[in-house]
């Protein structure tokens, strides 16, 4: 046990010295070893709590970003490894307006993708919303989609602009 602590103490001391050479704030301002024992032998000085606290803090910060989920419903990446390649307004039955386009699944597994859009008139007022679902998009493939219409009284001519409001991706 004492040998293990001595190795750990040496490793921490080396880490502190490297930090001091780099000018890092966690390093002590003095040499961690002092002389003055009988026979001129150098006696190690105990490390203060600051380097150990800085090491523990660094480990805590580094491990906080590590999240190992393997659930089937996890969202993968900011938009789940799916690239929406195109999206445009299209007139569908009865002069109603929908969104059509293509997406590409860059994941190495199949995904379900839900896309949502909002439509606005020339005054900037939201006049409708819609969604499209792409089920079981195979890995590394392109898929086409068509949303439902924006509403029963929203023809494409009335829409000044539309924007995608959500992209939800989950593993299948």
SS (H, E, C) 77-146: CCCCCEEEEEEEEEEEHHHEEEEEEEEEECCCCCEEEEEEEEEECCCCCEEEEEEEEEEEECCCCEEEEE
Q: What is the DSSP letter of 25?
A: T
Q: 10 Å Cβ neighbour count for 154?
A: 20
Q: What residues does each domain of the chain span? A: 2-64, 82-171
Q: What are phi and psi of 84, to 5 degrees?
A: -85, 110
Q: 82-171 adopts what CATH topology?
A: Immunoglobulin-like (2.60.40)
Task: Choose from 24-28, 48-52, 166-170 the range with maximum mean pLDDT.
Answer: 166-170
- pLDDT of 38-97, one tens digit each? 555 555 555 566 666 666 656 554 554 444 433 334 444 445 799 999 999 999 988 899
87-120 burial: b if 16+ Cβ within 10 Å, else e: bebeebeeebbbbebebebbbeeebbbebbbbbb
**Is residue 91 within 8 Å of 110, Cβ to Cβ?**
no
Task: Reply yes or no on whether the pLDDT at 29 is more than 80.
Answer: no
- pLDDT of 97-149, one tens digit each? 999 999 999 999 999 999 999 999 999 999 999 999 999 999 999 999 999 99
Per-residue pLDDT at 80: 74
Cα–Cα distance measured from residue 103 to residue 88, given in angstroms and rounded to the nearest whole number: 12
């Amino acid at each position: 046990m004492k040998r293990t602590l001595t190795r750990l103490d040496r490793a921490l001391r080396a880490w502190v010295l490297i930090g001091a050479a780099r000018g890092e704030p966690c390093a002590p301002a003095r040499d961690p070893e002092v002389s003055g024992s009988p026979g001129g032998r150098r006696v190690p000085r105990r490390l203060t709590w600051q380097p150990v606290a800085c090491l523990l803090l660094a480990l805590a910060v580094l491990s906080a970003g590590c999240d190992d989920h393997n659930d089937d419903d996890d969202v993968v990446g900011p938009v789940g490894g799916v690239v929406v390649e195109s999206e445009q307004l299209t007139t569908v039955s009865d002069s109603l307006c929908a969104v059509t386009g293509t997406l590409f699944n860059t994941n190495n597994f199949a995904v379900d993708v839900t896309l949502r859009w909002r439509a606005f008139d020339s005054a900037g007022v939201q006049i409708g919303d819609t969604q499209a679902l792409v089920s079981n998009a195979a890995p590394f493939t392109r898929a086409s989609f068509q949303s439902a219409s924006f509403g029963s009284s929203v023809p494409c001519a009335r829409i000044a602009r539309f924007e995608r409001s959500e992209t939800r991706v989950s593993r299948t």
